Amino acid sequence: MAKGEMVTRWLNLFMAIQGGRPHTADELAQRTGVSTRTVYRDLKGLQDAGFPIYFDPDKHTYRVTDGFQLRPLHFTPDELADLVGALNFVRRTGPLRSRKSADQLLDRLLAGMPQGQRDAVGELDRKLVIDPLGARSLEDEQITAALQHALAARRKVSMTYAAFAHGGQEEERTVRPYGLAYRGTSLYLIAHCDLRNGIRTFRVGRIKRIAVTSQPYTIPADFDLDQYLTGLWGITEGPETQVRLRFNPKVAQLAIETVWHPTQQNSPQPDGSVIVTMTTRGPAELSRWIAGYGGHVTVLEPSTLRKAVEDLARGILEAHR
């Protein structure tokens, strides 16, 4: 085993011990992702190296000897709230295999905090929940890891993709990963597709097989992932379109108190309705969102979006006859 890997494992273990309440060996194994036998071996290694780890024979738990403390990290209350909120979201949604990583990161941060801030973080973690959507898609951990590796190494990816638009029919694609985006309930790959000769978006959960090739690639200097995603409604690409929607008085308050898109502008009307104007891409997803309001939102323009909503409505009526 590489020495660097062992040192990283020891550091994770020590941070887990110092970061919170005393843990049993089994709990430490679960928290650090290794076997209990490895934990016992690493604990002995840490103790032999002079780390002040105390074993409580009555409770069968390990903790750092009282009085030992790494140089403390200090955070403002707002910084603590942001930190706990971000880790809370990651642990709940689980993108990029990061639930365990989020726990390990929290352990490391706690290990470097004074006791008062540790207590504050524990209280926040119990009382602050960041869970914007209860549903989430399931991604294969090995596939997400391969995509991360391909992005870091700048290597093309060969994959088998089951496109939803094609009824789940599997297609072979070679792509150049530009970035990963967690939008709504799913993780997406934004990449240049060699087959289509353009940037395309792939839902990671629909990638069936993947291989990182030895072929290098470069990401264009003028490509900005945040800028690319900003204009989208959801994740689907489409032509830039100005949209005008009328929210009737029953749902007008939602338009006033919610920002759905960075270009959104609200115009309250005398009858209590609100006209919402925005410039966006991705009309297919937008039409489904509008249909979800059950007739309380009317498309004023463009006509193509209005027709898409009408088609959805007819399909819903047909399915429920």
Question: Is residue 1 pLDDT above 50, yes or no?
Answer: no
> What pLDDT, on a 0 to 100 scale, did the predictor assign at position 158?
97
* Mean pLDDT within 6-18: 77
- DSSP collapsed to 3 states, 129-144: CCCCCCCCCCCCHHHH
For 274-283, b/e burial (b = at least 16 CB within 10 A) is bbbbbebbbb
pTM, whole model, 2 decimals? Answer: 0.60
What lies within 8 Å, CB to CB, of 82 at 6+ separation is none
* Mean pLDDT within 16-23: 73
* Mean pLDDT within 17-27: 78
Q: Nearest 5°: CA angle at 209, between 204 and 212?
A: 90
Question: Is residue 92 pLDDT above 70, yes or no?
Answer: no
Render pLDDT for 178-195 as a digit per residue (tens, 0 to 9). Answer: 999 887 778 899 999 999
The domains of the chain are located at 3-64, 77-127, 141-223, 241-319
Residue 216: strand pairing partners: 155
CB 255 within 8 A of CB 314: no
> What pLDDT, on a 0 to 100 scale, did the predictor assign at position 70?
53
The Cα-based distances of 277 to 148, 282, 291 in angstroms read 37, 15, 17
Question: Is residue 94 pLDDT above 70, yes or no?
Answer: no
- The C-alpha atoms of residue 109 and residue 80 are separated, in whole angstroms, by 11
Q: Topology of domain 141-223, per CATH?
A: SH3 type barrels. (2.30.30)
* Mean pLDDT within 15-36: 81
Nearest to 312 by CA among 300, 301, 302, 295: 295
> What pLDDT, on a 0 to 100 scale, did the predictor assign at position 132?
60
What lies within 8 Å, CB to CB, of 95 at 6+ separation is 139, 144, 182, 187
User: Residue 276: which pLDDT band, with cuts at 50, 70 and 90?
Assistant: very high
State both tokens at 114. 């004074």
User: Residue 207: which pLDDT band, with cuts at 50, 70 and 90?
Assistant: very high
State both tokens at 244. 């005008």
Nearest to 262 by CA among 286, 278, 238: 278
- The C-alpha atoms of residue 317 and residue 321 are separated, in whole angstroms, by 6
Contacts 24+ apart (CB under 8 A), 174-179: 174/213, 175/200, 175/202, 176/217, 176/219, 177/147, 177/150, 177/151, 178/219, 178/223, 178/225, 179/151, 179/225
CATH for 3-64 (1.20.810.10, 1.10.490.10, 1.10.10.10, 3.40.190.10): 1.10.10.10
- The C-alpha atoms of residue 64 and residue 54 are separated, in whole angstroms, by 6
Picking from 25-39, 90-104, 148-162, which range would have the lowest pLDDT averaged per residue? 90-104
CB 176 within 8 A of CB 192: yes
> What pLDDT, on a 0 to 100 scale, did the predictor assign at position 97?
53
Render pLDDT for 64-82 as a digit per residue (tens, 0 to 9). Answer: 876 565 555 667 777 777 7
Render pLDDT for 121-180 as a digit per residue (tens, 0 to 9). Answer: 777 767 666 666 555 666 778 898 899 999 999 999 999 999 877 777 899 999 999 999
> Higher-confidence residue: 205 or 102?
205
> What pLDDT, on a 0 to 100 scale, did the predictor assign at position 243?
94
Give yes or no on whether 3-64 and 141-223 have one common fold. no
Tell me the pLDDT of the chain averaged across its residues. Answer: 83
> What pLDDT, on a 0 to 100 scale, did the predictor assign at position 214?
96
CATH architecture for segment(s) 241-319? 2-Layer Sandwich (3.30)
